[in-house]
Amino acid sequence: MKNISSKKLAIIGFILMLSGPILLCLMGMIPWTLPKVIAFAIMWITIALPGIGAILSIISIVLSKKSGKTAHALTIVTLIMCNPVFYLIYAFICSIAGNILAGIPWM
């Protein structure tokens, strides 16, 4: 972990944060219905990717603090956007609609 700079971790975390919603949008554009198992797996993957990005951003902040450098702006943006409230709203919409991917239009 020492050879990875905090700036690289911030960029990777930001990309992971964006990949979750992009994957959801791509799945929403598919003209056919996905099997429930695949839709369920996609839902958890899209929830996990921004979470992993947030973890990498926290590690980036810790590394930048240890080295005396300031935190990268992408780190702050990633942590703000990976707010768990958004995930709770998405899960609530899906549970009311009875469809695993029902929250895509609301994201």
* CA pair distance 19, 25, nearest whole angstrom: 10
Q: Considering the domain boundaries, does residue 22 fall inside one? A: yes
Average pLDDT (5-13) is 84
Average pLDDT (85-105) is 67
Average pLDDT, the chain: 77
Is residue 103's pLDDT more than 70?
no
Give the CA distances from residue 52 to residues 1, 12, 20, 47, in Å, rounded to whole numbers and listed in that order: 16, 10, 10, 9
Q: Considering the domain boundaries, does residue 44 fall inside one? A: yes
Domain housing 80: 6-106
- Kindly give the interhelix angle for 84-97 and 36-67, rounded to the nearest 10 degrees: 170
Radius of gyration of the chain (CA): 16
Q: Considering the domain boundaries, does residue 81 fall inside one? A: yes
Q: Considering the domain boundaries, does residue 50 fall inside one? A: yes
Band (101; pLDDT cuts 50, 70, 90):
low
pLDDT value of residue 84: 67
The count of domains in the chain is 1
pLDDT value of residue 104: 58
pLDDT in tens, 29-47: 777 788 888 888 888 888 8
pLDDT in tens, 66-89: 777 766 777 877 777 776 666 677
Q: Considering the domain boundaries, does residue 1 fall inside one? A: no
Spatial CA neighbour of 62 closest among 13, 17, 18: 13
Q: Considering the domain boundaries, does residue 33 fall inside one? A: yes
